[in-house]
């Protein structure tokens, strides 16, 4: 039987500016799922590219005094450079300025026109060039674009219209019959309500600018840039010639996945499916709309001026760390407030302390106790380790298949965390003292297996790391495949060789000890004062910078030489424990704190207090003579977001 196939695409990005980490997120998601499916034996087609037409590009090129194609050539080269640095292994990079794309868009337009679903009339309304979207007066937000807030142009021109309204009921039916078509669920509900409000016919041609694909039968008209852009998904498969890629990855494929940001889900779940329906082409299986990366000022975007350059982060932390961070932190369909501290923290906690450390401890012990050579073990394994490996392998796949990257990675780290805990529990150094060599060999083998399995599961994300682990463990790549993803598959003798740390720890600035001036910096903007209360008011964006999570206190102890401070271990996620130093010693006994569910400021810069790195802060209410920790009103898991 032929292998199953899988098709995944990213949006094609506008080359109106360089890409930022928001775009990098989508492309990393696509690359990771493509690598994961390939590892499972699927035949995969992964497409990305550039959306080069439209008024926006025409305008920026004019501002630079160059032809649009000269401008886009230059920017597209920066896209390709970024993807190569991020190890994005796409199968095709489509540019909408290519001949094959012109021909496909014109043919698709013609097909729908010939069957009577496109007609000529006059468009009168508003157009946002930044979003390349038409709006009616009622859709505007106080005269501005409801999506990006910018000024809109008034447009009155002859235009071709696409009979979208005719297909509204069929589309609703399709969405209802295919619960996985729009993901995540919240986006699906939004789209259903949107369609139920009624669809209007869509203007799909413009006459007031040139930079685009002309309609063959009426060359004064340029095809609407979104009609042009969406068609890229089938151009690249050679829909035009009914080519073998089209047959394999569209017609006979059960998994066609478009990954997009939430702002463009409407185009992908309403306009695109209706174009396909009208042309008699089957619909994709899933459109997944992820949330946005936010930074000071809201959604990260060039126009707000708050973008973070992925190349700088790759240079500083490496592509694998950035890939891991984006996928581990991004909460599926919701937005995420980016901070470089959170990135550094994630690298330290997961990659350096947990994963890297497990490898280096294991390799060191095999070198020390067995001169670097370990014979394979076949029995005497700890049942819970074997059972946990099986559970993690299964749940990792369930999450990956649903594009739940963060949860899949958390599963893997359950196993990694167990490995580190296992070392503490078993204390191999005691086995050495007791002369229990056989048990020691089994323990070492179990640790190697945990690392091997974790490395296979992490390999679609940490693409540079796998080879380094193979080299340190002395295990060939044939044992790092999906077929070998089960505990005990490792056979034969291994010869380990210690290498450089996989992920060197990032040293945080010791904020409080080294940067006391930081607090005193003048505020960047003048603050607004409330007339009633006289307090300084902040914008919602300022508040949204803070992330709070529910934590459970696992351990509390006194801090030597500090009467007021306690050192706490607080569980803030399924597998995340933080050390927090809190000034609450006068108000709570050590015992009464245990198991208390508290509210933790999750994205606070770590600070050193009495030489201890405090990785967060607890919220508390302070009265005249008392202090009470904020807690939650009932049972809820650690890591639940407080907002
Ligand atoms: N050219 C269109 C897409 C056409 S697809 C047929 C486009 N391009 S874009 O360059 O403006 O944006 C591309 C993608 O980047 C969108 O999915 C958008 O959601 C995503 N992002 C842009 N800023 C983002 C963040 N700050 N965070 C996450 N993704 C964001 O739209």
Cβ–ligand 1 contact at 25 (below 6 Å):
yes
pLDDT in tens, 579-621: 999 999 989 988 889 889 999 999 888 888 888 888 999 999 9
Neighbours of 396 (CB within 10 A): 25
This prediction has a pTM of: 0.80
The two three-digit tokens of residue 559, written as one number: 């801090």
Mean pLDDT across 553-562: 88
Q: Please choose, from the candidates 602, 555, 543, 556, the residue with its C-alpha nearest in 3D space to the C-alpha of residue 583.
A: 556
Among the ranges given (161-175, 335-349, 528-542, 615-629), the one the predictor scored with the smallest mean pLDDT: 528-542
**Considering the domain 339-495 in this protein, what is its CATH number?**
1.10.730.10
Mean pLDDT across 282-306: 89
Q: Please choose, from the candidates 449, 485, 466, 467, the residue with its C-alpha nearest in 3D space to the C-alpha of residue 374.
A: 449
Distance 530 CA to ligand 1 centre (A): 37
Ordered by start, the domain boundaries in the chain are 5-313, 339-495, 546-642
Cα 303 to Cα 12, 98, 143, 456: the distances in Å are 19, 28, 19, 40
Mean pLDDT across 106-122: 97
Cβ–ligand 1 contact at 26 (below 6 Å):
yes
| Residue 257 pLDDT greater than 80, yes or no | yes
Cβ(506)–Cβ(317) under 8 Å? yes
Cβ–ligand 1 contact at 412 (below 6 Å):
no
Cα 625 to Cα 115, 256, 621: the distances in Å are 79, 62, 11
Looking at the chain, the whole-number percentage of residues with pLDDT higher than 90 is 74
Distance 14 CA to ligand 1 centre (A): 8
**Considering the domain 5-313 in this protein, what is its CATH number?**
3.40.50.620
CA of 23, closest atom in ligand 1: 15
SS3 state at 356: helix
Cα-based torsion angle of the residue sequence 547, 549, 555, 558 in order, rounded to the nearest 10 degrees? 40
Mean pLDDT across 399-411: 97
Q: What local confidence, expressed as pLDDT, does residue 143 receive?
A: 87
Distance 115 CA to ligand 1 centre (A): 32
CA–CA separation, 97 and 15 (whole Å):
12
Residue with CA nearest ligand 1 atom 9 = 13
Cβ(550)–Cβ(595) under 8 Å? no
| Residue 511 pLDDT greater than 70, yes or no | no
Distance 304 CA to ligand 1 centre (A): 14
Distance 184 CA to ligand 1 centre (A): 17
The two three-digit tokens of residue 391, written as one number: 């559970």
Cβ–ligand 1 contact at 553 (below 6 Å):
no
**Considering the domain 546-642 in this protein, what is its CATH number?**
2.40.50.140
Cβ–ligand 1 contact at 263 (below 6 Å):
yes
Sign of CA dihedral 27, 30, 33, 39: negative
Q: Please choose, from the candidates 394, 187, 205, 154, the residue with its C-alpha nearest in 3D space to the C-alpha of residue 290.
A: 187
Q: Please choose, from the candidates 615, 346, 349, 348, the residue with its C-alpha nearest in 3D space to the C-alpha of residue 507.
A: 348
pLDDT in tens, 199-222: 999 999 999 889 999 999 998 999
What's the per-residue H, E or C state across 369-387?
A: HHCCEECCCCCCCCHHHHH
Distance 618 CA to ligand 1 centre (A): 36
CA of 233, closest atom in ligand 1: 6
Q: String of b and e for 329-357 (b: at least 16 CB within 10 Å)?
A: bbebbebbbbbbbbbbbbbbbbbbbbbbb
Cβ(171)–Cβ(198) under 8 Å? no
Residue with CA nearest ligand 1 atom 6 = 230
What is the DSSP code string of 226-264?
A: HHHHHTHHHHTTTGGGT-HHHIIIIIT-S-EEEEEEGGG
pLDDT in tens, 437-489: 999 999 999 999 999 999 999 999 999 999 999 999 999 999 999 999 999 99
The two three-digit tokens of residue 535, written as one number: 């307090």
CA–CA separation, 328 and 575 (whole Å):
12
């Amino acid at each position: 039987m032929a292998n199953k196939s899988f098709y995944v695409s990213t949006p094609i990005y506008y080359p109106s500016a360089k890409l930022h980490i928001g775009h990098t997120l989508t492309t990393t998601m696509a690359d990771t799922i493509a690598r994961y499916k390939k590892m499972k034996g699927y035949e995969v087609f992964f497409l990305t590219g550039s959306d080069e037409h439209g008024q926006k590009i025409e305008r920026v090129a004019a501002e630079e005094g160059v032809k649009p194609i000269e401008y886009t050539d230059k920017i597209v080269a920066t896209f390709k450079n970024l993807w190569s640095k991020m190890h994005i292994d796409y199968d095709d990079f489509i540019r909408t300025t290519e001949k094959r794309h012109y021909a496909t868009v014109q043919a698709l337009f013609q097909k729908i026109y010939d069957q009577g679903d496109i007609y000529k009339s006059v468009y009168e309304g508003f157009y946002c060039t930044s979003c390349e979207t038409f709006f009616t007066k009622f859709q505007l937000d106080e005269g501005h674009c409801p999506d990006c807030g910018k000024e809109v142009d008034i447009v009155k021109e002859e235009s071709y219209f696409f009979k979208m309204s005719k297909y509204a009921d069929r589309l609703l039916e399709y969405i209802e019959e295919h619960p996985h078509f729009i993901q995540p669920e919240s986006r699906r509900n939004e789209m259903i309500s949107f369609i139920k409000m009624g669809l209007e016919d869509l203007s799909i041609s413009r006459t007031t600018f040139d930079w685009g694909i002309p309609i063959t039968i009426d060359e004064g008209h340029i095809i609407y840039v979104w009609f042009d852009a969406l068609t890229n998904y089938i151009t690249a498969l050679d829909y035009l010639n009914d080519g073998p890629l089209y047959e394999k990855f569209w017609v006979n494929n059960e998994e066609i996945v478009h990954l997009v940001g939430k702002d463009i889900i409407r185009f992908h779940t309403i306009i695109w499916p209706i174009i396909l329906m009208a042309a008699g082409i089957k619909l994709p299986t899933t459109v997944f709309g992820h949330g946005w990366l936010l930074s000071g000022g809201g959604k990260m975007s060039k126009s707000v001026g708050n973008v973070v350059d992925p190349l700088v982060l790759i240079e500083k932390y490496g592509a694998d760390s950035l890939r891991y961070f984006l996928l581990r932190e991004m909460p599926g369909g919701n937005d995420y407030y980016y901070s470089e501290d959170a990135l550094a923290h994630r690298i330290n906690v997961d990659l350096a302390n947990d994963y890297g450390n497990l490898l280096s401890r294991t390799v060191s012990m095999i070198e020390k106790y067995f001169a670097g050579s370990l014979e394979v073990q076949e029995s005497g394994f700890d049942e819970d380790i074997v059972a946990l490996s099986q559970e993690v392998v299964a749940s990792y796949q369930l999450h990956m298949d649903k594009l739940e990257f963060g949860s899949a990675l958390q599963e893997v780290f359950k196993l990694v965390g167990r490995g580190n805990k296992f070392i503490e529990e078993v204390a191999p150094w005691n086995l050495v003292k007791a002369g229990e060599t056989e048990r020691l060999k089994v323990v070492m083998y179990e640790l190697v297996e945990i690392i091997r399995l974790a490395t296979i599961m992490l390999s679609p994300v940490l693409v540079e790391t796998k080879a380094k682990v193979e080299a340190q463990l002395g295990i060939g790549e044939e044992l790092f495949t999906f077929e070998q993803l089960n505990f005990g598959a490792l056979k034969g003798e291994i010869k380990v060789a210690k290498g450089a740390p996989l992920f060197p720890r990032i040293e945080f600035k010791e904020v409080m000890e080294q940067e006391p001036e930081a607090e005193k910096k003048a505020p960047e903007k003048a603050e607004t004062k409330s007339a009633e209360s006289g307090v300084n008011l902040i914008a919602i964006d300022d508040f949204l910078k803070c992330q709070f999570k529910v934590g459970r206190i696992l351990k509390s102890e006194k801090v030597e030489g500090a009467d007021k401070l306690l050192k706490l271990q607080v569980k803030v996620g399924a597998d995340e424990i933080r050390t927090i130093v809190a000034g609450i010693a006068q108000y709570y006994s050590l015992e009464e704190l245990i198991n208390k569910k508290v509210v933790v400021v999750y994205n606070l810069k770590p600070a050193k207090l009495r030489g201890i790195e405090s990785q967060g802060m607890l919220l508390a209410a302070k009265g005249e003579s008392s202090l009470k920790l904020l807690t939650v009103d009932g049972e809820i898991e650690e890591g639940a977001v407080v907002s």
